[in-house]
Structure formats: structure tokens, C-alpha cells
Amino acid sequence: MTPLELTRCTGATLARAEAFLPHIDAAMAEFGIDTPARQAAFLSQVGHESGGLRWLTELWGPTPAQERYEGRKDLGNTEAGDGYKYRGRGLLQTTGRYNYMQTGEALGLDLLAAPELLAQHEAAARSAAWYWQTHNLNAPADIGDYVVITKKINGGLNGYAERLALYELAQQVLG
């Protein structure tokens, strides 16, 4: 893949695509995102969730939804300040103490002690690809079930029109 192709698949600027390309290529290879169908689905989701590879740390208001991160046991946020400390990071916005712990163990990083590591290019790409693999997203990508993929990543269909537009473009770019 070239930086220009990555730009078209994610909505990123050329400079961002150039910076991320080696990390995204390596992460896709490491976690079996290895066909054009899988890559188109993965890259379009990553592009949407990160605002074109721009946002590696969740923009914090805090909004009412973000305030509800605090104390959410389903996210493992059990200590005061966990909501902010373990806010969304990485290309797919890993959120919550529990998810940081799981991701860190899988990637060999101490994300509980240093959550900001998830906002670095390599960890951001690897965490997204690891999430993709552990949530079995290659299967729906193989059959083109983009709704299932979006729901597993987003919990719903927020931003679906933009995601779908990126996906359709990525399919054209990747063949």
C-alpha cells in the first residue's frame, strides 16, 4: 500500500498517511488483516474513529457521555479519575481501565501505568488490529457485512454514512 492509497482509505492527510503507513501495514500483517476486503473494512473504520488518523486521544469536554465513564464497572473504571485517565485512545479509541489492561497484556505494554502509550503511532495501530482480530471482524469483512463490523466497533451505527463512504472508496482503492 502507498501513502496515497492510505489517504484515500482513511481520509487522512498525506503527511499523516506517510507517518502511519509502516505501523498500519505491520499491524495488519501481525493480526491477519490480509485481504483487500478485510483491509478496506479495517482502514475505513480506523479512518472514521480517528478522524483521518488525527485523533489518537479522545477529545475531552467532558461531555455528559464522557462524565458517565466515571465509575462504569463494565469498563473496569473502579477508581476515581479512571474515566478521564482511560478515555478513548488509539486508532479505534480503546476506552476504560479493563480494556487498557487487556490491550496492554496482549501488546506487552503497561497501559495501566502509562495509558498515553496507546496514543503513539505503533501502539495505536497494533491496538486497533488486535481489537479487530479478537472481535473476529475478519469474518464479517469477508462477506461484506459492514453493519456488523460497525456495531462491534461503535456499539451502534453512529457515523455510519461516513464510515460507509470511506469503505466504498477503500474497496475501490484496494480492489
**Residues with active-site annotation:** 49
Overall residue count recorded for the chain in this entry: 175
What is the spatial distance between Cα 54 and Cα 74, in angstroms, rounded to a whole number?
A: 27
3-state secondary structure at position 106: helix
* DSSP for residue 13: -
Reference 131, options 69, 55, 42; nearest CA is 42
How many helices (H) and strands (E) are present in the chain, helices listed first?
Answer: 10, 0
**Terminus-to-terminus CA distance in the chain, angstroms?**
12
Whether a cis peptide bond, with omega within 30° of 0, leads into 62 is yes
